[in-house]
């Protein structure tokens, strides 16, 4: 058996090798035959070179080739098991009247045709926005914020997911008004703690349960293999969906190969330049389609006669203030089954949402809201300032038990939108860019400013 992996796929390669070892150690599989793993490293974006390596493997005589995997693995799973229907079910359950699909590659539009088909004819507002190439997504995210939309389907690769969420938080798209459905099947593997406390409803799906005993066993074994091979950069690590699928594929292949035992099977070298096929190839594929259900790292593995995975169970996961929680399940047969029915988190932010956090508060020197305190001795930190706004922040911090640091807007520019560049300046720009958590001063609320930042409700009338 051949395995194709690029230089970054250490975990997938180790799981493939362990899967082959597990098959060979199982006395109930393949009788006296053994699988031999032949691993080749392939470039991630050179299909011609990959085809050359495949031909090289075929010429040595292999019964199957696994890989290469990529960020698009999740896309393949979604199309194979109709996971896209799950997101339709979630949007329906939450009764979203409008939402925005945020994506990073054009394949998303193909995957979400069903979602668009179901909702657009009903008069619902469905917007699609593609993130710009590179690492800075703030301009697109700020434009999305200015639209006033609060419901989002986020379809980006796991590789950039954390950075997209972080920048969404920086521009003010992660408040308790915002709800996210995240489509990446590796959603639970990224560092989510920074997004637990803002009140946003963040929901995703999970295919691999890290607490499953089989998953834990495989993970311990590959971590041991990594230490032995000094692949220290991958451990400890959470099991990726692509790795789990590789493992299950090796088991499925071995189970199907076992059924060929009575056919006097021989593995012959193949030449890519000829039209010859392995004589048992079609039979092996049919056995894989029709074999009995078995338990793998991705749950119960079963295929229909057309080669599509069936009865695939996914966990619905929601991020709350105490971390990730399983709130339901979904499969293609029974649909969505939520343990609670809610379109927002039941963890209502309370008085402890800002507990022990330190906020950067932006203000300006403007009597009587923010003033420089006169004193004979040199003052430091927040003690340098006084005024109505200064006192107000202090009293709120006592009530909500957070810490704060004042920063001064030296040029006293509060903030306006440049109609040509569509960029903000002044204090508002710093809040939007995440350089400050909030601003307090005698700032007039206008419709233009409300399109860029959130304001507290006015509680005093000065004129």
Outline where DSSP puts E strands in 297-374: 299-301, 314-320, 323-331, 335-338, 358-363, 371-372
Least confident of 222-231, 296-305, 375-384, 450-459: 222-231
186-227 pLDDT tens trace: 999 899 988 988 788 999 999 999 888 989 888 888 888 777
pLDDT at 92 over 60: yes
Cα–Cα dist 177/285, whole Å: 49
Amino acid 227: pLDDT: 73
pLDDT at 75 over 50: no
37-72 pLDDT tens trace: 888 887 777 778 888 888 888 888 887 888 766 544
Exposed e or buried b for every residue in 111-134, given b needs 16+ CB within 10 A? Answer: bbeebeeebeeeeeebeeeebeee
Cα–Cα dist 422/139, whole Å: 9
Cα–Cα dist 245/77, whole Å: 9
The token duo for 177 is 């008004």
Domains of the chain: residue spans and CATH: 2-68+240-297 (3.40.50.2300), 84-184+187-209+314-338 (3.40.50.2300), 358-450 (3.40.190.10)
Mean pLDDT (whole number) for 406-419: 91
Mean pLDDT (whole number) for 235-256: 83
Regarding predicted confidence, which is higher, 309 or 404? Answer: 404
Amino acid 343: pLDDT: 42
282-301 pLDDT tens trace: 777 777 777 668 889 998 88
Beta-carbon count within 10 A of 2 CB = 21
Cα–Cα dist 419/429, whole Å: 14
Amino acid 232: pLDDT: 43
The rounded mean pLDDT for the chain is: 82
Residues 6+ apart with CB under 8 A from 178: 150, 151, 152, 200, 201
Residues 6+ apart with CB under 8 A from 248: 296, 297, 298, 301
Regarding predicted confidence, which is higher, 68 or 130? Answer: 130
Least confident of 118-127, 282-291, 295-304, 388-397: 118-127
Torsion angle, alpha carbons of 332, 335, 337, 343, to 10: 120
Amino acid 288: pLDDT: 78
pLDDT at 262 over 80: no
Amino acid 235: pLDDT: 42
Regarding predicted confidence, which is higher, 39 or 149? Answer: 149
Mean pLDDT (whole number) for 256-265: 74
Mean pLDDT (whole number) for 110-126: 72
Amino acid 74: pLDDT: 41
Amino acid 77: pLDDT: 44
Mean pLDDT (whole number) for 139-165: 91
Amino acid 76: pLDDT: 43
Amino acid 352: pLDDT: 65
312-324 pLDDT tens trace: 889 999 998 888 9
The token duo for 420 is 């040509």
Residues 6+ apart with CB under 8 A from 145: 171, 172, 173, 451, 452
Least confident of 203-207, 260-264, 304-308, 358-362: 260-264
Amino acid 363: pLDDT: 94
Regarding predicted confidence, which is higher, 413 or 109? Answer: 413
Amino acid 146: pLDDT: 86
């Amino acid at each position: 058996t051949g395995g194709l992996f690029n230089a970054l796929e250490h975990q997938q390669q180790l799981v493939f090798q362990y899967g082959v070892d597990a098959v060979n150690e199982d006395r109930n599989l393949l009788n006296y035959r053994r699988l031999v793993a032949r691993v080749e490293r392939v470039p991630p974006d050179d299909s011609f070179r990959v085809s050359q390596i495949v031909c090289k493997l075929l010429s040595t005589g292999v019964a199957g080739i696994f890989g290469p995997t990529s960020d698009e693995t999740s896309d393949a799973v979604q199309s194979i098991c109709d996971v896209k229907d799950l997101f339709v079910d979630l949007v329906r359950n939450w009764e979203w009247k409008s939402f925005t699909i945020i994506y990073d590659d054009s394949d998303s539009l193909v995957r979400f045709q069903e979602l668009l088909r179901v909702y657009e004819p009903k008069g619902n507002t469905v917007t699609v926005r593609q993130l710009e190439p590179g690492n800075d997504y703030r301009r697109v995210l700020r434009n999305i914020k200015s639209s006033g939309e609060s419901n989002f389907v986020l379809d980006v690769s796991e590789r950039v997911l954390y950075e997209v969420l972080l920048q969404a938080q920086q521009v003010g798209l992660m408040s308790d008004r915002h709800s996210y459905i995240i489509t990446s099947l590796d959603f639970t593997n990224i560092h989510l703690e920074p997004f637990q406390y803002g009140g946003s409803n963040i929901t995703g799906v999970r295919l691999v349960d890290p607490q499953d005993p089989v998953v834990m066993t495989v993970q311990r074994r590959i971590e041991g293999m990594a230490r032995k091979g000094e692949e220290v950069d991958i451990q400890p690590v959470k099991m990726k969906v692509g790795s789990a699928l590789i493992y299950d594929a090796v088991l499925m292949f071995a189970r199907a190969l076992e059924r060929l035992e009575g056919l006097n099977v021989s593995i012959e070298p193949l030449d890519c330049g000829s039209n010859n096929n392995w004589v048992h190839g079609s039979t092996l594929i049919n056995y894989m389609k029709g074999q009995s259900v078995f338990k793998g790292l991705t749950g119960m593995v079963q295929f229909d006669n057309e080669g599509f995975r069936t009865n695939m169970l996914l966990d619905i996961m929601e991020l709350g203030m105490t971390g990730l929680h399983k709130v339901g399940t979904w499969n293609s047969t029974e649909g969505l089954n939520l343990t609670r029915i809610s379109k927002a988190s039941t963890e209502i932010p309370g008085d402890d949402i800002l507990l022990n956090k330190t906020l950067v508060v932006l203000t300006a020197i403007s009597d009587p809201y923010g003033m420089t305190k006169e004193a004979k001795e040199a003052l430091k930190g927040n003690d340098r300032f006084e005024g109505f706004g200064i006192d107000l922040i202090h009293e709120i911090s006592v009530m909500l038990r957070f810490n704060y640091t004042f920063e001064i807007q030296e040029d006293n520019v509060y903030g306006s939108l440049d109609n040509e560049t569509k960029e903000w300046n002044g204090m508002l720009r710093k809040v939007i860019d995440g350089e400050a958590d909030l601003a307090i001063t005698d700032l007039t609320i206008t419709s233009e400013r409300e399109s860029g930042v959130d304001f507290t409700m006015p509680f005093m009338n000065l004129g």
